[in-house]
Amino acid sequence: MPDSTSAPSVALIMGAGDAIGSSIATQFARSGHTVCLARRNGDKLESIVGNLKEQGLEAHGFSCDARNEEQVIELFKDIEDTVGPIEVVVFNVGANVPMDIVNTSSRKFMKIWEMACFAGFLTGREAAKTMLPRKRGTIIFTGATASVRGGANFAAFASAKHGLRALAQSMARELGPKNIHVAHVVIDAAVDTQWIRENHPAYNNLIDKDGIVNTDDLAKNYVMLHEQPRSAWTFELDVRPWVENW
């Protein structure tokens, strides 16, 4: 087990994809944290972790199904035992799957809820367990437009994201007085991912005038939230580009 007095602080990114998750990990690594990236298929993290190490940054990749309680518990234990004390946890698991209500099976609904809400509960609970004895830490949940407004064909996703936001609100009120900062980031915009580049009808027009959220710029907000003084903590950050109409 690493010496907690000398080991670098760890930022865990749960749901570390190639776009938002990768950028969040990069920004925390550049701010001096050892970053641990986790996703269901950990082998897909090799290029991201390798790129960070090439920059002289500390990074580790892990396989973990965020919906599996035993795997989540083991992930936190493994990082605490072998890497260092977890100071920041970002829950960034996505489940943005559109489908009309009459074709939303109970299985699909439950799967989306497990990914976007239940997995957030498991991650948040284990984060709190590791942070409470040290009386410090930051837990950030990634939300979406669906966190505050349910759109057509997104009933399952919106219900899960609403639930995640409520979870974050309750945790913030419970853990804030214990010096643990809990925040929720509403990304109310298209983000510059491969899917958006390939499917957004106005991508070329919007990207040229900063109408699409840049992932690195977005990620800097997560670091800012962690570094905030506790006399002025932000619970909810609403992120959107300055150009919204096209």
Residue 215 falls within a domain, yes or no? yes
What pLDDT does 6 receive? 59
Whether 46 is in a domain gets the answer yes
Question: Among candidates 209, 195, 194, 214, which has minimal Cα distance to 245?
Answer: 209
% of the chain at pLDDT higher than 70: 96
Specify if 244 maps to a domain: no
Q: Is residue 5 included in any domain, yes or no?
A: no
Question: Which residue carries 């966190």 as its tokens?
Answer: 147
| 243, part of any domain | no
SS3 sequence of 140-169: EEEEEHHHCCCCCCCHHHHHHHHHHHHHHH
Predicted local distance difference test score (pLDDT) of residue 236: 98
Average pLDDT for 18-45: 95
Residue given tokens 């990236």 in the structure block:
37
Q: Is 167 among the domain residues?
A: yes
In the numeric block, which tokens belong to residue 204?
């070329």
pLDDT for res 2? 59
Residue 4 reports pLDDT greater than 70: no
Q: What was the pLDDT predicted at 205?
A: 80
Q: What pLDDT sits at residue 27?
A: 97
**Position 246 confidence tier, pLDDT thresholds 50, 70, 90:** very low
Q: In Å, how far are 12, 14, 134, 244 from 197, measured between CA atoms?
A: 27, 24, 43, 17
Residue 3 in any domain: the answer is no
Instruction: State the Cα–Cα distance between residues 243 and 203, nearest whole angstrom.
Output: 13
Q: How many angstroms separate the CA atoms of 62 and 78, rounded?
A: 10
CATH of residue 141's domain is 3.40.50.720
pLDDT for 153: 94
The residue whose two tokens read 């907000």 is: 221
How many domains, in total, are found in the chain?
1
**Per-residue pLDDT tens digits for 103-139:** 999 999 999 999 999 999 999 999 999 999 999 999 9
Beta carbons of 210 and 241 less than 8 angstroms apart: yes
Any bridge partners for residue 186, and if so which?
A: 143, 238
| Structural domain of 138 | 10-238
* 4 lies in some domain: no
Question: Mind listing the pLDDT tens digit for each residue in 175-227?
Answer: 999 999 999 999 998 887 777 877 787 888 888 888 889 999 999 999 999 99
199: left (phi over 0), alpha (psi -120 to 50) or beta: alpha
